[in-house]
């Protein structure tokens, strides 16, 4: 419950941006339902579940390993939501330093354009998504300048757009560009945030 209580008690003006984004997604989904089926081909509840995430790897004098799994649910043919985890491990031989971060997030996405070929004069079966995410990341062990034993949680609301490209019958690659509304000295996400993720 730490992440929920932390978010609820934050007196931060950026908190409203994520709430507005989620509200817009829900509103657009309701509008779209009036002229389209709830979901194409009437998938079962199990078929609406998706999973995936991204893995980051870098080796050398600066080693970086990140694992960010996600699991979500397709609420409609355009609106999805889910939760995820975040873990990264960093080692720098130059600074003789080892650190890690961990945390969790909630996210939602809304498909603005399902198929670009419908609006552009060339073939492209990819789509454009509106994406929002709220992350809570423990960076206590990432910055060795912090007092020993002090816990630091980075509250990170992000929003932006994603290009969704199918790579299989039910799998996709997402290329995202996001803006961190709470960029700070302890935030692990400097602006702009670029990310490549996969969904299955």
| CATH code of 66's domain | 2.40.160.20
Residue 2 reports pLDDT greater than 70: no
Tell whether 107 is covered by a domain. Answer: yes
Q: Is residue 41 part of a domain?
A: no
Alpha helices in 47-163 (DSSP H): none
Residue 42 lies inside a defined structural domain of this protein: no
Whether 43 is in a domain gets the answer no
Q: How many domains does the chain have?
A: 1
- pLDDT for res 57: 82
Please state whether the predicted TM-score (pTM) of the whole model is above 0.95. Answer: no
Residue 54 lies in a domain: yes
**Of 47, 72, 45, the residue nearest 132 (C-alpha):** 72
Give per-residue pLDDT as tens, 45-103: 888 999 999 888 888 888 888 999 999 999 998 999 999 999 998 888 877 778 888 99
Whether 124 is covered by a domain: the verdict is: yes
Phi, psi of 153 (to 5 degrees): -110, 125
Q: Measured between alpha carbons, how far is 19 from 140 in angstroms, rounded to an integer?
A: 27
Rounded-to-integer distance, Cα 90 and Cα 63, Å = 6
How would residue 145 be classed by pLDDT, with cut points 50, 70 and 90? low
Residue 86 lies in a domain: yes
Check pLDDT > 90 for residue 163.
Answer: yes
Domain with 112, as residue range(s), is 2-36+48-199
Quote the CA–CA distance of 12 and 15 in Å, as a whole number.
Answer: 6
Residue 165 lies in a domain: yes
């Amino acid at each position: 419950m730490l992440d929920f209580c932390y978010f609820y008690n934050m007196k931060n003006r950026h908190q409203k941006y994520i709430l507005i984004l989620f509200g817009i997604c829900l509103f657009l989904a309701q509008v779209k339902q009036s002229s389209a089926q709830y979901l194409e081909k009437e998938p079962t509840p199990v078929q609406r579940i998706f999973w995936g995430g991204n893995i980051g790897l870098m080796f050398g004098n600066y080693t970086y390993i990140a694992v960010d799994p996600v699991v979500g649910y397709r609420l409609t043919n355009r609106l999805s939501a889910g939760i995820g985890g975040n873990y990264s491990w960093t080692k720098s031989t130059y600074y003789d330093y080892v650190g890690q971060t961990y945390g969790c997030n909630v996210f939602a996405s809304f498909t603005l354009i399902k198929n670009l070929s419908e609006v552009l004069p060339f073939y492209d079966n990819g789509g454009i998504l509106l994406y929002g995410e709220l992350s809570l990341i423990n960076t206590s062990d990432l910055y060795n300048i912090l007092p020993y034993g002090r816990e630091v949680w980075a509250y990170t609301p992000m929003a932006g757009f994603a290009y969704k490209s199918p790579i299989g019958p039910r799998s996709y690659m997402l290329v995202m560009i996001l803006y961190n509304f709470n960029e700070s000295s302890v935030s692990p996400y400097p602006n702009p945030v670029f990310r490549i993720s996969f969904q299955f």
